[in-house]
């Protein structure tokens, strides 16, 4: 590893201490967020990251409910890691909610939760409306994995101190996109830019899905597409 990469890795890890500040920023930005996209009432299930539970996604789910989304936790306790048993449980959860509501379910996964979300969409695409991943290691072995067969958005940060940005980006597709935001990995669930982007993506209907777009001052904080790592790697 070059000295540049070591230095950047150290700075990104230290940057994870920004997470509480990002929550405070969300409170300050709430008047702006409250004027953002409204949902149509369809169900979204928010899947937590490694070793985390529904407690970690309270802020995200509370915000989405305020904006008219039926945002649910997964109700499966702590996420102990990836396993076939837990994947089957999340698939059953998605199918049950699909049958109950009569509408496809949106899946929002933070970190490892996003890995589950993508696999659920592959297994039961008819039950899934869209997938949104937040700093999820979806390309971790450096192979380009194709996007799920539903509209898919990967939200990531180049200053993520836990998941490298080139791991967290979706591969190219007609209904797949990447949104770069400023912030830390541990703050993604309550980062104001993430909250706005998630609400906007959940507002999109599958039959009229369009890529993420902002204008004015807000455009300064977002970037679309992928970024290259220091060694020139990355996904588009």
Residue 183 has pLDDT above 80, yes or no: yes
Q: Which CATH superfamily is domain 3-224 in?
A: Alpha/Beta hydrolase fold, catalytic domain (3.40.50.1820)
Residue 230 has pLDDT above 50, yes or no: no
CA 203 to chain centre: 15
Calculate the average pLDDT of the chain: 87
Strand 223-224 to 176-180 pairing: antiparallel
In terms of pLDDT, which residue wins out, 11 or 114? 114
pLDDT at 226: 53
pLDDT at 14: 58
Lowest mean pLDDT among 3-7, 93-97, 123-127: 3-7
Residue 33 has pLDDT above 70, yes or no: yes
Residue 186, Cβ density class (10 Å: 0-12 exposed, 13-18 middle, ≥19 buried): buried
pLDDT at 32: 79
- Under the banding of pLDDT at 50, 70 and 90, the label for residue 110 is very high
pLDDT at 227: 42
Q: How far apart are the first and last CA of the chain?
A: 24
Cα separation, 45 vs 131, in Å, equals 10
Q: Do the beta carbons of residue 137 and residue 168 sit within 8 Å?
A: yes
Residue 233 has pLDDT above 60, yes or no: no
Cα separation, 227 vs 234, in Å, equals 6
Tokens found for residue 4:
């540049």
Please tell me the pTM assigned to this model: 0.87
pLDDT at 64: 95
Tens-place pLDDT, residues 127-157: 999 999 999 999 977 767 889 999 999 999 9
Tens-place pLDDT, residues 151-182: 999 999 998 999 999 899 998 788 999 999 99
Cα separation, 63 vs 202, in Å, equals 13
In terms of pLDDT, which residue wins out, 172 or 235? 172
pLDDT at 235: 36
Which residue shows structure tokens 């990355």? 234
In terms of pLDDT, which residue wins out, 9 or 224? 224
pLDDT at 23: 73
């Amino acid at each position: 590893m070059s000295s540049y990469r070591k230095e950047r890795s150290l700075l990104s890890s230290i940057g994870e201490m920004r997470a509480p500040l990002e929550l405070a920023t969300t409170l300050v930005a709430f008047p702006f967020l409250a004027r953002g996209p409204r949902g149509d009432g369809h169900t979204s299930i928010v899947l937590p990251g490694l070793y985390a539970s529904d407690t970690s996604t309270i802020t995200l789910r509370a915000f989405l409910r305020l904006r008219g989304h039926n945002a649910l936790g997964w109700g499966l306790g702590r996420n102990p890691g990836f396993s076939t048993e837990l994947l089957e449980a999340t698939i059953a959860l998605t199918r049950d909610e699909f049958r109950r509501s009569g509408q496809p379910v949106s899946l929002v996964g933070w970190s490892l939760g996003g890995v589950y979300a993508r696999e659920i969409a592959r297994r039961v695409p008819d039950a899934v409306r869209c997938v949104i991943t937040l700093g999820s290691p979806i390309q971790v072995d450096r192979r380009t994995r194709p996007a799920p067969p539903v509209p898919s958005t990967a939200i990531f940060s180049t200053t993520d101190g836990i998941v490298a940005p080139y791991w967290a980006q979706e591969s190219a597709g007609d209904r797949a996109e990447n949104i770069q935001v400023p912030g830390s990995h541990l703050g993604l669930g309550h980062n104001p830019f993430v909250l706005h982007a998630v609400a906007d993506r959940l507002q999109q209907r599958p039959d009229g899905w369009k890529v993420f777009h902002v204008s004015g001052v807000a455009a300064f904080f977002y970037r679309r597409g992928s970024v290259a790592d220091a060694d020139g790697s990355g996904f588009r």
